[in-house]
Amino acid sequence: MSKEQIVRRIQLDLKPSSIETVERLKEQMEAASYAEVFRRAMQFYDKMQTLSVEGTIIVRHQNGKEVKIILL
């Protein structure tokens, strides 16, 4: 069995506000499960870390305004 096929269960303790966020994201993303929300969030964060230079990413809104995001 390859590493990608091995599944491990991870249990998280979340505050009510974090649970609400995960539930909202699950609905917005039309995700099939909470696990899918976390997988997609981790993929996104990993990609942003890879693309960032010195931990900073510049995001440009549709109106042209730029926002600097600092990844810790």
Tell me: pLDDT of 1 over 70. Answer: no
Reading the block at residue 46, the tokens are 């990993």
Closest CA to 38 of 50, 21, 56: 21
Calpha distance 21→27 (Å, rounded) = 10
Exposure letters 10-23 (e unless 16+ CB within 10 A, then b)? eeeeeeeeeeeebe
Confidence (pLDDT) at 4: 72
pLDDT digits 0-9 by tens, 14-46: 999 999 999 999 999 999 999 999 999 999 988
pLDDT band at 62 (very low <50, low <70, confident <90, very high): very high
pLDDT at 2: 62
Q: What percent of the chain has pLDDT over 90?
A: 60
